[in-house]
Amino acid sequence: MRRYVIVGNGVAGTSAAEQILAHDSQAKITMFSEEPDPFYYRPRLPELIAGAAELESFTLHGPAWYRDHGIDLHLGEKVTQVDRAARRARTAKGLAAEYDALLLATGAHSFIPPVDGADKKNVFALRSAQDARAIRAAAKEAKSAVLVGGGLLGLEAGHGLIRLGLGVQVVEFFDRLLPRQMDVAGAAKLQGILERMGFSFYLGAKAKQVLGSGQAAGLSLEDGRQLQGGLVLFSAGIRGNIQLAQDMGLKINNGVVVDDRMRTSLAGVWAAGDHIEHQGRLYGIWPAAKEQGEAAGIDMAGGEASYRGTIMSNSLKVAGVDLTSAGDVDADDLLQAAVYQDDEAYRKIVMAEGTIKGCLFLGLTKGVKECLQAMESGVQVGHLASEMKKKDFDFSRLLA
């Protein structure tokens, strides 16, 4: 009987467990998670802030699922040490499990930039259900909030606060929203839509200090402006949880380095999810962590798997705003693009050498799926470029 230890109960860890079970009927799986809550769909956390959903409604597998599948799940157990020679993982509370195959699926944590006063009460970042509950509790006492970071995740969390009736002031270092997912024209259109919802924006601005004595009362900016707010929410990116990998001496570049089978530099140890680096890329998105977890699980159990990378695709989950951005949106307008725009919508299909390299759909949803498929398969569509500029272009023609 082969013994598997999985550190992390997120999508990478659980997808791996599912594949191990499918490929090894004798598997003995032990899983540890630092969090007390069982596997849930992290992207819906802003709804927990808004009180629009309970955690149970987006819990993907409760403890019973693990029990029924013979997985020994330990919640609230942080693995703090792995003995490479003995092949044994140990938790802070003293639990130990020996393995033949170990998966590090430890994910990531929020990055808090070095801003003075960031350790004050009512300063938050959103990564876990525990964070969401704490933000919701603080929001009940506040009239407005300051959000540092105008990325997708920040805007979704900010929208959770707006739904609670708070005014949300967004401080963004770049001079436009979603700098990684949007070009200038798309970002300007999105900004207008969000302002009408209750967001206000401070672009090209840098956070200096969290105001307030002991408890956050707002934020000062480098340019001298002061924003008032009963809570401050940082959404300034993530950092991989690489401590264990580091302690074990695994090869690390910007993330834990893995090959196409999700193997690390140490025999018997795999890694998958937000903290890994595959072919020089870090992802930080759900579908990538899922595919990596699946590949890891198959390989750990002796099957054939190969991870080839995931196309970066993001959607903004703010009610009333349809936005999908994928691949290279050519923010500097250097490539060929088919653009359609009107007062409500903006659509850009970016092409190079006749294939789709990226796309941006704001206020339009028709054709997203087909466009992503065409992008993934690398099909030649150059001959349709001028027709794609029309609002009602039939995107199924990309796949014909």
Binding residues (CB under 6 A) for ligand FAD: these are: 7-13, 32-35, 42-43, 45-46, 78-79, 105-108, 126-127, 153, 241, 244, 273-274, 284-287, 289, 317
Which secondary-structure segment (H or E) carries 359?
A: strand 355-362
Complex with ligand FAD: residue 45 or 258, whichever CB lies closer: 45
Complex with ligand FAD: residue 173 or 286, whichever CB lies closer: 286
Complex with ligand FAD: residue 106 or 191, whichever CB lies closer: 106
R_g of the chain, CA atoms, integer Å:
22
DSSP string, 92-105: TTS-EEE-SEEEE-
Positive/negative CA dihedral, 6, 102, 291, 150: positive
Shortest Å distance, C-beta 24 to ligand FAD: 21
Shortest Å distance, C-beta 321 to ligand FAD: 13
Shortest Å distance, C-beta 313 to ligand FAD: 8
Q: At what angle do helices 152-163 and 184-197 cross, to 10 degrees?
A: 10
Complex with ligand FAD: residue 126 or 374, whichever CB lies closer: 126
Strand 256-258 and strand 231-234: the pairing is unpaired
Shortest Å distance, C-beta 182 to ligand FAD: 15
Shortest Å distance, C-beta 352 to ligand FAD: 25
Complex with ligand FAD: residue 146 or 244, whichever CB lies closer: 244
Longest Cα–Cα distance in the chain: 64
Shortest Å distance, C-beta 224 to ligand FAD: 31
Shortest Å distance, C-beta 393 to ligand FAD: 26
Complex with ligand FAD: residue 120 or 127, whichever CB lies closer: 127
- Bin 20: left if φ > 0, else alpha if -120 < ψ < 50, else beta: alpha
- Quickly count: other Cβ atoms within 10 Å of residue 52's Cβ: 14
Strand 144-148 and strand 231-234: the pairing is parallel
Q: At what angle do helices 152-163 and 129-139 cross, to 10 degrees?
A: 40
Sequence-ordered alpha helix ranges (H) in 264-390: 286-300, 368-377
Q: Is 350 helix (H, G, I), strand (E, B) or coil?
A: strand
In sequence order, the 6+-apart residues with CB closer than 8 A to the CB of 190 are 177, 178, 182, 316, 321, 323, 362
Backbone angles phi, psi at 205, to 5 degrees: -120, 150
Shortest Å distance, C-beta 14 to ligand FAD: 8
Complex with ligand FAD: residue 186 or 273, whichever CB lies closer: 273
Complex with ligand FAD: residue 126 or 178, whichever CB lies closer: 126
